[in-house]
């Protein structure tokens, strides 16, 4: 089996990377960053997000494993002192995996250019200087006029990240769909939005059509999309979201209960 390693820059991640490489070699496994079958990330959730985008074109043949060097993560199941156990699991690997849905985003700009991205956690559309004004279409029908800071569109596994901070619901990661959560919407007698998060099913299409060309920021996980073209004269016109045909797969060597992880991370010692 071919193993790739993707680590962040901290000294602890470098140390664990060296240790892991030695153990992979000792166990007779093949180290291959170019065509890996299993990618082991070393760092935190952010490192796994970066690895996901690095291997985005190989998602159909790559399974991920996350080692965390800091706090417990949502995508990282192994601790930095469990390298021996992890390598034993790799040696005994029989191809087992668990996969989760992703979010396709299709952005259209004023110069006619388009960009397509796939998000593991979420995409946000925000205005950095003024109130964001946009029309929200669900399945090609106008649903509401949004005014506020912005909108967060998240995957089921991303629902515990930014989405949760802006009041979105936590989704069971085995469900197929995506979620829209408002960021500081303006609600008064004149302007009105639904005011609660919406969870969409697998076939839904969500489109945000921006009303003006002010400083919009569109993000996909850790990345902010390039807004300007070479001449610096394009702006975001609309973004469409739907469940992606692609999925992310994790090599499942141990059973981690998602709701225990939510409880440990956000509640702590409930009795």
User: Which of 24/179 has CB closer to ligand NAD?
Assistant: 179
Least CB distance from residue 184 to ligand NAD, whole Å?
A: 12
Assign 84 to helix, strand or coil.
Answer: helix
CA distance 75 to 67: 9
CA distance 119 to 10: 25
Tokens of 164: 């949760």
> Which residue bears the tokens 């690095």?
54
Q: Does 156 bind ligand NAD (CB under 6 A)?
A: no
Q: Does 121 bind ligand NAD (CB under 6 A)?
A: yes
Whether residue 69 contacts residue 16, with contact meaning beta carbons closer than 8 Å, is answered with yes
Q: Does 2 bind ligand NAD (CB under 6 A)?
A: no
Whether residue 200 contacts residue 178, with contact meaning beta carbons closer than 8 Å, is answered with yes
Q: Which residue is nearest to ligand NAD (CB)?
A: 46
- Binding residue for ligand NAD, selected from 6, 8, 24, 45, defined by CB under 6 A: 45
Q: Residues 177 to 216: which contact ligand NAD by CB under 6 A?
A: none
Whether residue 239 contacts residue 106, with contact meaning beta carbons closer than 8 Å, is answered with yes
Q: Does 157 bind ligand NAD (CB under 6 A)?
A: yes
Q: Does 44 bind ligand NAD (CB under 6 A)?
A: yes
CA distance 146 to 151: 9
Tell me which stretch binds ligand NAD (CB under 6 A): 58-66, 81-89, 142-150, 152-160: 152-160
Q: Does 165 bind ligand NAD (CB under 6 A)?
A: yes
User: Which of 47/240 has CB closer to ligand NAD?
Assistant: 47
Has 111 been annotated as catalytic?
no
- Binding residue for ligand NAD, selected from 59, 86, 161, 208, defined by CB under 6 A: 161
Q: Does 74 bind ligand NAD (CB under 6 A)?
A: yes
Give the residue from 263, 241, 4 showing the smallest Cα distance to 101: 241
Q: Choosing from 22, 33, 45, 233, which is the catalytic residue?
A: 45
CA distance 197 to 169: 7
User: Which of 35/165 has CB closer to ligand NAD?
Assistant: 165
Tokens of 6: 């993707």
Q: Could you count the other beta carbons within 10 Å of the beta carbon of residue 261?
A: 16
Q: Does 173 bind ligand NAD (CB under 6 A)?
A: no
CA distance 46 to 52: 10
Assign 138 to helix, strand or coil.
Answer: strand
User: Which of 49/136 has CB closer to ligand NAD?
Assistant: 49
Chain residues in the site for ligand NAD (CB under 6 A): 44-46, 49, 73-74, 121-122, 157-158, 160-162, 165, 221-222
Return the active site residues: 45
């Amino acid at each position: 089996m071919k193993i790739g390693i993707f680590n962040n820059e901290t000294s602890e991640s470098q140390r664990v990377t060296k240790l892991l490489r030695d153990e992979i070699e000792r166990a007779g496994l093949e180290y291959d960053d170019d065509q890996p079958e299993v990618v082991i990330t070393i760092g935190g959730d952010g490192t796994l997000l970066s690895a996901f985008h690095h291997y985005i074109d190989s998602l159909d043949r790559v399974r991920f494993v996350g080692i965390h060097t800091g706090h417990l993560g949502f995508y990282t199941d192994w601790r930095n002192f469990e390298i021996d156990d992890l390598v034993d699991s790799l040696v005994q690997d029989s191809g087992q995996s668990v996969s989760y849905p992703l979010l396709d985003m299709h952005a259209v700009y004023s110069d006619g250019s388009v960009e397509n991205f796939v998000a593991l956690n979420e995409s946000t559309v925000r205005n950095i200087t003024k109130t964001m004004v946009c029309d929200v279409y669900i399945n090609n029908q106008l649903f509401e006029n949004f005014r506020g800071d912005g909108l967060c569109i998240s995957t089921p596994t991303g629902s515990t990240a930014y989405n949760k901070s802006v009041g979105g619901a936590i989704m069971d990661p085995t469900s197929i769909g995506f979620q829209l959560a408002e960021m500081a919407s303006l609600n008064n007698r004149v302007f009105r939005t639904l005011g609660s998060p919406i969870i969409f099913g697998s076939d839904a299409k969500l489109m945000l059509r921006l009303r003006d060309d002010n400083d919009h920021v569109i993000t996909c996980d850790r990345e902010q999309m390039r807004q300007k073209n070479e001449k610096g004269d394009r702006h975001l016109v609309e973004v469409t979201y739907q469940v992606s045909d692609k999925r992310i797969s994790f090599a499942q060597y141990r059973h981690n209960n998602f709701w225990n992880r939510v409880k440990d991370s956000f509640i702590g010692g409930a009795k």
